[in-house]
A = this chain, B = another copy of it.
């Protein structure tokens, strides 16, 4: 995945770092290691808002949250397939010993080097720039040698390299003195393991849903793309356990069947057509979606992103074509967001994993992972999965709502109020004459409920600007009128809206209630 617009990405990352959203690569004072980041005060606030919105949306659909260990022993990853299959091809320079991901190396080489492209066209007779890079190791090495790709570090040719190695992407560790274990590469596998316990909790009644928000680790060879592909990241994955026969007849489907979604089926993609805005019911009737339970799950994923405040014209649902579907997946759709920096970017996958995982873990653990259906038959349930992370949506919100005003030389973040890191800033017009005391009183009251700041440093214009830069939707200003018993404005404060710069006077006693309604979108600023 390469940035669609490098200069937008560069400016965006500079802003994100400068304004204390995300720092890194960390640890910066030890010169940093690619793929590790710290969420600074504003970034963590934003990420918490993202995670809490996800939590709320899952819970509203009766999913329960669980928290499983992030470290698990080797047999778990043997069963899940990660120990053998979760690898990247690595090529090592025979001169300088630098390591590179072989497929990326070839891909970039083909894309960047015009002469090479020509040569590539001569060799292969193909005109297309981005022909798929082979996944086979031997094929890959053959092409690297054929194109005379050189080591990006020392410029030596790779012609003497004997083999491409498979590098496992899990971070290996040890429990106790000698138990082989790995930092989990995904939350999903760890969510499946307590299946017998879930049966107890849900009193043997399927379908039921659980989700997990937590850390996962992928030891990429050379991660770039900022927090879109890091070595440590936060996943949020929901799993619906359901008997196969319950999939067609899924009651909750009816609650959302008229919901319109921008769907780009495999067929539409093959026919070079645009995504279609259709209702879930139409999609189901058109056979875009195989069954009602999967349709409902896909819609839940869509609602997760809408609830985060992503504009509808920035979201689309793209079905996997047959050649990209994971071998265990019966159906798979991605949610893609249109980013200003990276263009259309995958942020979520919705998979019908069938009974694959429970079968594998049953086989490897020797434990029965079946449940009794209504006919009292023992069957292994299927799993419908919503797999995503919280780093990409957090980044997406910054990408989508950040802008730079060339004229004013000013950053602005027009992020929706409900997800903004700081909801309101309380500003005394001046420090003296009791204004800051009143401001602090209001601040103390508000910060019990909202993330809220108090600022008395610099001109009021500078302070408004500082808040616009970090996306604070509302500022309250306490001025002389607030305290002046002779003034018709006695007891009122000014509320300023970020996006319009408009100001209104409101009674200081009502500001908590008004801001609460503004943030939850119950009233608009113009209604005040």
Binding site for B on A (CB under 8 A): 18, 20, 23, 26-30, 33, 35-45, 47-48, 59-60, 64-73, 75-76, 90, 99, 167, 171-177, 179, 181, 183, 190, 193-197, 200-201, 203, 210, 215, 217, 219, 221-222, 231-232, 361, 364-365, 367, 369, 447-448, 451, 457
Contact = CB atoms under 8 A, between A and B. Distances in A.
B66 A30 contact: no
A38 B193 CA distance: 10
A53 B265 CA distance: 45
Contacts of A361: 29
How many protomers of this protein does the assembly include?
2
A64 B41 contact: yes
A36 B201 CA distance: 20
B194 A40 contact: yes
A75 B31 CA distance: 11
A176 B99 contact: yes
Contacts of A99: 176-177
Contacts of A364: 30
Q: Lowest 4 A-B CB distances belong to which pairs? A: A41-B64, A39-B67, A36-B69, A20-B201
Nearest to A74: B30
A43 B29 CA distance: 38
* Chief secondary structure at chain A's binding surface: mixed
A173 B218 CA distance: 12
Contact of A175 (B20, B43, B76, B171): B171
Contacts of A23: 194, 197
A40 B193 CA distance: 12
Contact of A29 (B28, B176, B193, B219): B193
B173 A173 contact: yes
A64 B20 CA distance: 11
A26 B172 contact: no
Contacts of A42: 201
Contact of A28 (B27, B73, B197): B197
Nearest to A52: B52
Nearest to A210: B41
A71 B38 contact: no
A60 B70 CA distance: 31
A26 B35 CA distance: 29
B193 A68 contact: no
Contacts of A35: 175
Contact of A173 (B33, B36, B172, B447): B172
A151 to B, nearest CB: 15
Which of A43, A183, A195 has the most B CB atoms < 10 Å from its CB?
A183
Contact of A37 (B69, B231, B365): B69
Given A67-B47, A201-B40, A201-B41, A26 B194 contact: yes
Contacts of A203: 457
B365 A175 contact: no
A474 to B, nearest CB: 18
B171 A173 contact: yes
B66 A44 contact: yes
Contact of A26 (B43, B193, B217, B448): B193
A187 to B, nearest CB: 12
A65 B44 contact: yes
Given A33-B181, A69-B232, 9 more contacts: A26-B72, A28-B196, A30-B193, A33-B179, A44-B64, A71-B231, A171-B174, A172-B173, A183-B183
A31 to B, nearest CB: 8
A3 B176 CA distance: 23
Given A20-B197, A447-B60, A73 B37 contact: no
